[in-house]
């Protein structure tokens, strides 16, 4: 059967697509910033914190990493109203993305922290630094340099995984695409264009993160690790 393709109606909705892409990027950037705060605190708790903090961080990581992202999204959006907490779709999307990224990134940061030679921390303690100062000033900076590549991969997964939040009608790119194809009946054309937009956003995002690495840690590449 002959099939004719027309992208006219899809391109006519470019303003909606750009707004959706903009929200996707805002959700991604906000969840990366907040999720990394959660991850750093979680990694500190698992490596240097008191016993209760280690148990709490471990429980959080295990629960999030062993449950579906979609179920977590439904819990925050549909479940919290049962206890009196109502979130907009965009707020529920952001909260879920932060909580999810925080758990995965906690393990990445923890691995970087544990890769730092013990001699460095012992020397810092000998200089009179408090445990929190040792973690923040001596351990964390080189650990972040070591784990930057897997963090970039995880951040990119956050960008691409944000499409799932269309399930609760958050107005990001995938949700906009669903609306356009339901109005135009141009399913192939709509999702072809949106797929290309996700590809461009992911490549641009990774490029920006690579530039950030160069500005922060120098231009020596991702493979530098401290000698043991």
Predicted structure pTM score? 0.90
Pick the CATH number of 8-217 from 3.50.50.60, 1.10.3720.10, 3.20.20.70, 1.20.210.10: 1.10.3720.10
The pair of three-digit structure tokens given for residue 109, joined into one six-digit string:
């940061």
The pair of three-digit structure tokens given for residue 23, joined into one six-digit string:
């929200």
Give 220's pLDDT tier (boundaries 50, 70, 90). very low
CA–CA separation, 5 and 64 (whole Å): 42
Give 132's pLDDT tier (boundaries 50, 70, 90). confident
For 212-225, give the DSSP string. HHHHHH-SS-S---
CA–CA separation, 213 and 211 (whole Å): 5
Percent of the chain with pLDDT over 90: 80
Any idea what the Cα angle at residue 54 is, between residues 92 and 111, rounded to 5°? 85
Give the model confidence (pLDDT) of 41-51 as tens digits.
999 999 989 99
- The DSSP secondary-structure symbol of 165 reads G
Q: Which of 38, 73, 75, 76 is nearest to 163 (CA)?
A: 73
CA–CA separation, 226 and 224 (whole Å): 7
Residue 3 pLDDT: 63
* Domain coordinates in residue numbering, the chain: 8-217
């Amino acid at each position: 059967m002959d099939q004719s393709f027309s992208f006219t109606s899809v391109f006519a909705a470019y303003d909606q697509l750009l707004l959706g892409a903009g929200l996707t990027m805002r959700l991604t950037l906000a969840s990366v910033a907040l999720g990394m705060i959660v991850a750093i605190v979680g990694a500190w708790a698992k490596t240097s914190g008191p016993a209760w903090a280690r148990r709490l961080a471990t429980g959080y990581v295990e629960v999030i990493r062993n449950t579906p992202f979609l179920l977590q999204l439904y819990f925050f959006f549909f479940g919290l109203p049962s206890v009196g907490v109502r979130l907009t779709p965009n707020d529920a999307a952001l909260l879920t993305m932060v909580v999810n990224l925080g758990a995965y990134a906690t393990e990445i940061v923890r691995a970087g922290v544990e890769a730092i030679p013990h001699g460095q921390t012992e020397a810092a303690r000998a200089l009179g630094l408090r445990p929190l100062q040792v973690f923040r000033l001596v351990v964390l900076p080189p650990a972040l340099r070591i784990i930057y590549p897997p963090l970039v991969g995880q951040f990119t997964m956050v960008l691409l995984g944000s499409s799932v939040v269309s399930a609760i009608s958050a107005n990001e790119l995938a949700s906009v695409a669903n609306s356009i194809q339901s109005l135009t009946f141009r399913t192939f054309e709509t999702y072809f264009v949106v797929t290309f937009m996700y590809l461009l956003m992911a490549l641009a995002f990774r490029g920006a993160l690579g530039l950030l690495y160069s500005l922060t840690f120098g231009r020596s590449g991702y493979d530098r690790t401290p000698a043991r």
